[in-house]
Structure 1
Amino acid sequence: MRTSTLLTLLSSLLPIAIQQVAAAPLAERGVNVGWPYGSQKIRGVNLGGWLLLEPWITPSLFRATNNDGIVDEYTFCQYQDRGVASAALKNHWETFIVENDIKWLSEAGLNHIRIPIGFWAYDVSGGEPYIQGAAEYLDRAIGWARKYNVKVILDLHGAPGSQNGFDNSGVRGAANWATNSNNVYRAKKVVETLSRKYSDPYYWQVVTMLALLNEPATFQNDQLLQTTRQYWYDAYGAARYPWVPEGSASKSGLALVISDGFQPLNTFNGFMTEPNFESVFIDTHNYQVFNDDYQTWDQNRHIRGICDRAKTYAQSPLWLMVGEWSLASTDCAFWLNGRGIGARYDGTYPYSPRVGSCQGKSGKGGDFSQDYKNFLRRFWDVQTQSYEANGQGWVFWTWKTEEAAEWSYQTGLINGWIPYNPNEHLTSYQQVCN
């Protein structure tokens, strides 16, 4: 097919509102992603805070700057001597995640890793101060994943201008991604670059999924919502047919992931469904910490909250995975809400009423009570079972932290509130949730 003909076809196809249909069985799907999605569950973990900095995951990196104005990766690169920042980043990339981490999580029964990366690993044409180099380490991790038979979900976690204003997008503050069409175009081109490279047969059965953009904050305004909806169509075309610029109509075999953007799942009824859109997943994130109400919930209410929300996942019009979740039941993790910002739970977050002390709720875990550890195990049991029963599986946030044990899969394994066998449950979600 000529390139011009393909582009005409795509431009007419992608904006169409497709009638809602059930997710097609694997055998009927037109792309071969190298993993039996639909018959085998995703059990994974995020490598958060590695190739895209987050102050709460590695506070030591930010403390070492002695500059309270350095609150994200953008300012980390902007407000330090470039040589100092570059050396710190390289050391972090070299040491925070190593081969033994991938071996460890594989031996713990996990079959996927989700690797967040920012657009700037591939494009700083907008004059952003970011320091490049993370792409090399992404390839290193993919090599380790191949060795230990772990599948890789590539995740575009930060877009030009920021899609949400969170520090995990690279820059904290306003969400300006949707206000500039060039920002949107640049994000799409990064997706195209990732798909073109990792759709190569060399990566088949290793890199199996590509997330087109993490957590666009579509609740903020209608422009962001509408821009994101159109972006899913455009980014799908760029990722499914990444060789169009070279004149080829070849199709990528990657499963493609869109975010729910904090919107109800029923708003995606009829959106990007089979057969016109192939192997599209929707990614939802489930945290019970980021408002005042959650801080007042007791342990049983947190468990019930998981049960209630997970039941809605079974109604998803697209294959669904819970791409981020944790064992946190408070926002007590140091700098979780941003560098220099306190916690709602202990009343140090602006305008939030105090519920109690954060002592024993977060930190390295040495002062966790046995009752709290038992709750963490129940919370893990109920979430993992619920997400597998009502969706295609789960990816925990995150593998490693410096000072937030309730957010660290690795720390949970070490301390016993996460089992080494994901099939091992002490609590049945069916008994708790029904």
Structure 2
Amino acid sequence: NNPKYWDDLFEDGDTHNVVLDNHYYQAWDSESGTVESVCQKYKDHMAMLSGHKYEVWVGEWSLATDTCAFWLDNFNDSKSPRTDTCDWVECPKPYMPAPHGVDMDRTAHMQGPYGTNLLDVARYGMCPIDSAKYSVEDLYKIGQCVLEAYNSTLDAHIMWTYRNELEPRWSYEWAFDAGWLKPQRNETEEQAE
């Protein structure tokens, strides 16, 4: 839905404490193309979100451009039409010791729960992660264009999630440490110094 649909919900001047929260993920978008086309999609989405009488936040986003991350589609069975080629890593061990931490069956062909999309389920102790379609340099460029688009348009944005043990494109901490999300200073911060 175009967020302009929501503009008539409240009278002008009656928007105190009203926020339009938008969740934008390219992981479920049509097949991702070049870095430039990924960045253009973010810019186009931000253009659609601009010009509201409400504060606009993107309450969830990630750097993922495919649906390979472990259980991403299958837990809620979104039946994604994507046919991405995923990379695979050894699934993490339980954090808690026995009997509380129960490991998966690492000999099983498929480890559930899973739905109809069998793209991102554990197999033989291996978990899917995003494909290696984009290089580290590409991910830096995507990260910078995302931050530029969001910081120039939105009142706030929150990456989902802070930490992910397998997938850096879903982990703010990992993406920040890798340099993909280099903080950008705004003019107000520079003037304060």
- The TM-score with structure 2 as length reference comes to 0.64
Matches within 5 A, 1:350-361: 352=81, 354-355=83-84, 357-359=85-87
SS in 2 for 1:269: helix
Matches within 5 A, 1:31-70: none
Aligned-pair CA distance for 1:413 = 2.2
Aligned to 1:418: 181
Matches within 5 A, 1:59-208: none
Aligned-pair CA distance for 1:410 = 0.7
What do the CA deviations read for 1:332-379 (whole angstroms, capped 9, x no partner)? 1111013396xxxxxxx9583635x2127x73x9x958x522222112
Aligned to 2:116: none
CA 1:272–1:378: 2 relative to 1, 3 Å: same
CA 1:416–1:313: 2 relative to 1, 3 Å: same
CA 1:354–1:276: 2 relative to 1, 3 Å: closer
Q: Does 1:396 align with 2:133?
A: no
Aligned to 2:44: 308
- Which has the larger Rg? 1
Q: Does 1:321 align with 2:57?
A: yes
Q: Is the 8 A contact 2:28 2:80 kept in 1?
A: no
2:13 to 272, 275, 286: 275
Q: Is the 8 A contact 1:400 1:408 kept in 2?
A: yes
Aligned-pair CA distance for 1:276 = 2.9
CA 1:317–1:417: 2 relative to 1, 3 Å: same
The number of equivalent residue pairs is 147
**In structure 1, how many angstroms separate the alpha carbons of the residues matched to 2:154 and 2:76?**
37
1:378 to 113, 118, 141: 141
SS in 2 for 1:400: coil
Q: AA paired with 2:28?
A: F
Could you say which structure has the higher helix fraction?
1
Aligned-pair CA distance for 1:321 = 1.3
What do the CA deviations read for 1:23-72 (whole angstroms, capped 9, x no partner)? xxxxxxxxxxxxxxxxxxxxxxxxxxxxxxxxxxxxxxxxxxxxxxxxxx
**In structure 1, how many angstroms separate the alpha carbons of the residues matched to 2:181 and 2:167?**
15
CA 1:374–1:340: 2 relative to 1, 3 Å: same
Aligned-pair CA distance for 1:330 = 0.6
**In structure 2, how many angstroms separate the alpha carbons of the residues matched to 1:316 and 1:418?**
27
**In structure 2, how many angstroms separate the alpha carbons of the residues matched to 1:311 and 1:418?**
21
Q: AA paired with 2:14?
A: N
Aligned to 1:58: none
**In structure 2, how many angstroms separate the alpha carbons of the residues matched to 1:422 and 1:415?**
15
Aligned-pair CA distance for 1:272 = 2.2
Q: Does 1:331 align with 2:60?
A: no
SS in 2 for 1:284: strand
Aligned structure 1 segments of 4 or more residues deviating by more than 4 angstroms: none
CA 1:273–1:280: 2 relative to 1, 3 Å: farther
**In structure 1, how many angstroms separate the alpha carbons of the residues matched to 2:79 and 2:6?**
34
- Give the percent of matched residue pairs that are identical in Structure 1 and Structure 2: 20
What do the CA deviations read for 1:80-122 (whole angstroms, capped 9, x no partner)? xxxxxxxxxxxxxxxxxxxxxxxxxxxxxxxxxxxxxxxxxxx
Which runs of 5 or more residues in structure 2 are unaligned?
A: 89-127, 187-193
> Which has the higher relative contact order, 1 or 2, with Cα contacts under 8 A spaced 6 or more apart?
2
CA 1:317–1:290: 2 relative to 1, 3 Å: same
